[in-house]
Amino acid sequence: MFSIRKSSTELNDASEPRWHFPSALSPEAHAEWGLYRILKYMGLHEILPPGAGKNRAKLREDIEKYHTAYAIDFDDTDIDTLIARRPDGLAFDKDKNLCVFLQYTRAIDTNEDWAEKKEQGKNDRYSSHLGFINHLSHREKSGWKASQTNFTTGVRGSLHTNQILTRLESLGVKNTNTREAIRNRTVQKTLSMSDMILKFFFIALSSKTDWTLQNLPT
């Protein structure tokens, strides 16, 4: 995510960076924003002073109204999940009022449609968030539009090259060589992670002691 932030050089009409990635803090760290913080950033939900004790109640009420308006079945658990779940990253274009949920996923790439199935699962996971945000935006006449962009890589290094390059470009990474470099690093890091997991797995299999599995790095 930080690579995208660093490489997103597209400018807006004021010659300022078009895209902002507030959750990408550094190459090693990122902040996963929850629904409260996302809505506050977009100006779609009033955040009362600490201690007021009304933020969660107001947000829950708005979520209930959203589900009722679109005849979507829900219960308290669904609301709790909606509030607690956080996307991997976020991109904002404040000039065009665009909010993009960013999801990076490694998947088992043995079947032909592995990427499509994984992306559909990710889309389903955050469809309620996007629907709710767009509902509030329409209600408040703010003009914000929320969508989702996925970056899916197979554990054996497979990916849809044209798809990932196009998605990088849509987030302001306009340099062709930079997009290709990000694609290459993504594959390399995925293969490195898979290699490390396999090594630990075989260490565990060959060990005759009970504590090995418990002491492997996570």
The DSSP call for residue 27 is S
- pLDDT at residue number 204: 67
Mean pLDDT for all residues in the chain: 86
Q: What percent of the chain has pLDDT over 70?
A: 83
**pTM value?**
0.84
pLDDT digits (tens, 9 = 90+) for 94-141: 999 999 999 988 878 878 788 888 899 999 999 999 999 999 999 999
Q: Is 131 exposed, middle or buried (0-12, 13-18, 19+ CB in 10 A)?
A: middle
Name which residue leads in pLDDT, 215 or 45: 45
- pLDDT at residue number 110: 77
Name which residue leads in pLDDT, 30 or 81: 81
- pLDDT at residue number 214: 56
Name which residue leads in pLDDT, 40 or 203: 40
- pLDDT at residue number 26: 87
pLDDT digits (tens, 9 = 90+) for 173-202: 999 999 999 988 887 777 776 666 666 666
Residue 83 has which token pair? 């509030």
Name which residue leads in pLDDT, 4 or 157: 4
Whether the CB-CB separation of 90 and 23 falls below 8 Å is answered with yes
Residue 217 has pLDDT above 60, yes or no: no
Q: Residue 126: which of 106, 147, 151 has the closest Cα?
A: 147
* Residue 72: band (very low, low, confident or very high) from pLDDT cuts 50, 70, 90: very high
Residue 215 has pLDDT above 80, yes or no: no
Residue 110 has which token pair? 């043995």
Whether the CB-CB separation of 100 and 84 falls below 8 Å is answered with no
Longest Cα pair distance anywhere in the chain, in angstroms? 65
